[in-house]
Amino acid sequence: MSGVGNFAQRLYSGRVSYNFVGRRKMWYAISGIILAITLGSLVFRGLNLGIEFRGGSEFQVASAQCSVQQAQDTTNSIVDGQAVVTQLGDGTLRIQTQEVPPAVSDEVTQALGPVCGVEATDIKIQIVGPTWGANVSQKALQGLIVFLILVTIFLSIYFEWRMAVAALVALAHDLIITIGVYSLLGFEVTPATAIGVLTILGYSLYDTVVVFDKVRENTQGVLGQSRLTYSESANLAVNQSLIRSINTSITTLLPVGAILFVGAWILGAGTLKDLALALFVGIAAGTYSSICVATPILAQLKQREPEVQALERRVEARRKKSEDPSEIGKQDTVVAVSEGLGESRSVSESTVRNQPKRETRSKRKR
């Protein structure tokens, strides 16, 4: 732990620094590839919408003694189309199909009863229409629009409009990647998925605000000096908040990963994966975007300001002057002898203080 602490201290002090902002083209390329893959999957494959969004029939078999494959084969032999079977945490099987008439529903329950070791009358049947899913989608979209408007107003007032733009771009980046992963993996999109997607909006924004707050602190008065450019000051802020972002992400991803991998895939609690996958992908993407997307975009927007461009020219001129041998040679050195000790040291001529001349001993006796 002491090694991690020393590393974090070196990052904060600037002794160790990773050029996240300066390598923005590389981060843009990585994000562009990921976004192209996810968007391509959304266009060509689409989303696997759950029964709540597309409508259909649902059969719940409590205390089922059959496997998921047996229930799926039995249902598919009666209903045209691929039945989706999910094992719930309490040993119940949930079987979703396209909407079927009552006569076919009775036939399905009569076939599932003997296979799953239950009475046909104990199997619950539910018909879900697509209207309910459309209402959920509409409410979620309305909530998203209101959230984005309020976020834009807040960031523009608390920071500035350029930070608001950068944060919204990072937010869209995280949303597209998260939804695209559902399309790539073929995970079913349920109301729990919508809840998970709306949840990661807050997390992604929180991580970005933490970084931007440090950027604002580091760039206060940056135009009045000529040692660091705006991009370099922003990059220092990213390095200073890097350990905090990583620690926050790890402590959040561990329980979410346990829900996703242990709860959903090992224990078979299928309903958890709809929520856990959105949280896991969204948190990981949010951490990446706040460091490698939001701050580089902010620095790129700030570089268009005349004051920031003038600062970059001053910094570049100062650095060229310090590296010019002819300029270095002009700094003549003098030897200053310290009284009483007879020691000498070489100092720059500009640092020698103009002391008043001391009178001779004979004059002082007069």
Give pLDDT tens digits for 164-174: 999 999 999 99
pLDDT at 9: 65
pTM of the predicted protein model: 0.73
Helix (H, G, I), strand (E, B), or coil: what is residue 225? coil
Round to whole Å and give the CA distance between 232 and 179: 34
Confidence of residue 89 (pLDDT cuts 50, 70, 90): low
Percentage of the chain surpassing pLDDT 90?
Answer: 16
Question: Which whole number is the average pLDDT over 328-337?
Answer: 40
Mean pLDDT of the chain: 78
Of 279, 285, 278, 277, whose CA–CA distance to 261 is shortest?
277
Residue of higher predicted confidence among 363 and 337: 363
DSSP, res 34: H
Q: Are strands 93-97 and 84-87 parallel, antiparallel or unpaired?
A: antiparallel
The pLDDT tens digits for 119-157 are 888 888 887 776 766 777 788 788 888 888 888 898 888
pLDDT at 351: 39
The pLDDT tens digits for 203-222 are 888 888 889 998 998 888 88
Q: HSE (CB half, 13 Å, CA atoms) of 286?
A: 30
Residue of higher predicted confidence among 17 and 244: 244
pLDDT at 221: 84
Residue of higher predicted confidence among 141 and 238: 238
Lowest-pLDDT choice from 134-143, 164-173, 230-239, 337-346: 337-346
State the burial class of residue 43 (Cβ atoms within 10 Å of its Cβ: 0-12, 13-18, 19+). Answer: exposed
Q: Structural domains in the chain? A: 23-49+133-313 (1.20.1640.10), 56-128 (3.30.70.3400)
Are 35 and 177 in contact by the 8 Å Cβ rule? The answer is: yes
